[in-house]
Amino acid sequence: MLGRGAAVGGALTLGPLLGGEAVAAPNGGTPARAAGKGPKGGYEAIGVRPLINGRGTFTVLSGSLMLPEVREAIDRAARQYVQLDELADAIGKRLAQLTKAGFGMVSSGASAALGHASAACVAGGNPDLHVQLPDLTGFQKTEAIIPKHSRNVYEAAISATGLKIVEVETRAQLKAALRPQTALVYIFAMPRVDESELDTRTIAQIAHAAGVPVLVDAAAEILTIPNVHLQRGADLVAYSGGKCLRGPQSAGILLGREDLVRAAWVHSAPHHGWARGFKVGKEEAMGMLAAVEMWVQRDHKAEYATWTSWLKDIARRVSVVRGVTTKIVQPEGLSNRTPTLTVLWNAQNLGVTGQTIVDTLWDGEPRIAINAARSSDPAQSGVSITPYMLEPGNAKTIAVELVKLLRDPPPAPEPPKPPTVDASGTWALEIKYTAGTSTAHELKLSQDGAKITGTHKGEFVSRPATGSVSGSEVTVRSYYGEEHGDALSFTFTGTLKGNRISGDLNMGEYLGASWTATRKS
């Protein structure tokens, strides 16, 4: 999933808001500037490298680029004062007109929209209840139901309101879980929802019979008008503003039943209490409205045609390398609405893997972000490229750099060495995070040749661990999956000397750390 997905929308007019060579933009948009070219300014002036984004609307890659009309709306809004409750009311009515929903609200991202919506289902816009959140002592509504297929990292926005999560998997379980204390049912929009016996229509019918509203998280989806989720029976639906809509990255929208959306605004900043930190300024609010205004005007078919033409150009250019095959796949469904180009080759014949290409492009100049590709053939390796976030000229740059690396591959990683150490045993860990230290972790490992299996005990849970040994270098990986409503990955790498291992820890989005392990007697 592309950072909650990349969805349909134009990437036709804007470049990074940095110094660089101007590139003509179609449709009269602001000229883009090529990443990595021209005099340094903006991000580069403080030592941050801009990039060409062929990966998608990942939040960590700063989402999408705002439309020119959005930037203009933000600039106009920044020049005058308004009363924010009056602004929210006017924007809510206009969003309702544009989207054909009951009412609308701008939030500080889709996750914040989920939190405000949950608070609305708990406290109903009652200020006396609002100021007590997230302490639900004495509240009637204290639980949120989430089908197993919808458990994910973003549900933290719901439990942050104080709600207890109740997981269900069947119709019977859903009916049994619906009680007077049920505040809402949450659905994470994705293809497997519609394939489940607990699809949106079924959930809505059962929940509504018990008087319980349904909230859909459609952050990565295209904005359908009329709204497909509301038509299927949902009461509320949340979208990201900084993905397909190309509004402010720090904004989102909540659409649906007017009483619940208005209550969600009560449970939002500028009002004090639980949600004061989720502030939306007048600038983001008007920028988000401008993005929705543009959504109904944009020529989405023309945007798709442009994206596909860029992928065809890359495919044509890389096909000059013998042994390379390409395939363009058009999207299905509402999420991740972007065509994708897969470039495959025999890794042994060309002497390079897709992951090595991805890593080299990320470290190169210009900096390019693409994905490694998967293949059913283990001999095949490759990369995949999504054009949604590309700018004019980027496709040629990516193709040129790919051809260079395929014809003159970077050095391959050293092959594993026979193990010279035994990592078996129980290990007490000290982890030094970017901020903070923990001594609560423990590894219990067994080694068979170069293969490691075992368990990794963390602060609260244990999880399976796997790994390998190369010479005296030890690698151990564990993962805490989204079925629990959160996700943590650990990759420990270190050198074993005697009864001590020390090295680096990669935790993905939680940055790097160092670790030391001591073998227990």
Q: Is residue 120 part of a domain?
A: yes
The average pLDDT across 324-342 equals 86
Residue that wins the pLDDT comparison between 209 and 332: 209
Does the pLDDT of residue 142 top 80, yes or no? yes
d(CA 427, CA 430): 10
3-state helix, strand, coil in the chain (%, to 5): 30, 25, 45
pLDDT given for residue 2 in this prediction: 47
Packing angle between helix 354-363 and helix 394-407, nearest 10 degrees? 120
56 plus 102 within the same structural domain = no
DSSP 162: T
275 plus 304 within the same structural domain = no
135 plus 255 within the same structural domain = yes
72 plus 204 within the same structural domain = yes
pTM of the entire predicted model: 0.87
pLDDT given for residue 336 in this prediction: 64
Q: Is residue 294 part of a domain?
A: no
Which residue type sits at 153? V
What is the chain's mean pLDDT, rounded? 90
Q: Is residue 232 part of a domain?
A: yes
122 plus 218 within the same structural domain = yes
- Number of domains present in the structure of the chain: 3
484 band by pLDDT with thresholds 50, 70 and 90: low
Q: Is residue 320 part of a domain?
A: yes
227 plus 279 within the same structural domain = yes
Q: How many CA atoms lie within 13 A of 64 on its CB side?
A: 34
What is 380-412 written as a DSSP string? Answer: EEEEEE--TT--TTHHHHHHHHHHHHHHSPPPP
Question: Could you give the percent of the chain with pLDDT greater than 70?
Answer: 91
| pLDDT tens digit sequence for 345-355 | 999 999 999 99
Does the pLDDT of residue 22 top 70, yes or no? no
238 band by pLDDT with thresholds 50, 70 and 90: very high
pLDDT given for residue 200 in this prediction: 95
Q: Is residue 321 part of a domain?
A: yes
pLDDT given for residue 7 in this prediction: 35
Task: Note the Cα 191 to chain centre separation in Å.
Answer: 16
The average pLDDT across 67-79 equals 98
58 plus 126 within the same structural domain = no
Does the pLDDT of residue 35 top 90, yes or no? no
Give me the helices (H) in 178-299, please: 191-194, 200-209, 228-231, 258-266, 282-295
> What is the extent of the structural domain holding 303?
22-63+299-407
399 plus 430 within the same structural domain = no
Q: Which of 376, 407, 438 is the last residue before a domain boundary?
A: 407
49 plus 78 within the same structural domain = no
334's CB contacts (< 8 A; 6+ apart) are 7, 189, 218, 221, 222, 224, 228
Does the pLDDT of residue 23 top 90, yes or no? no
Does the pLDDT of residue 498 top 50, yes or no? yes
| pLDDT tens digit sequence for 445-474 | 999 999 999 999 999 889 999 999 999 999
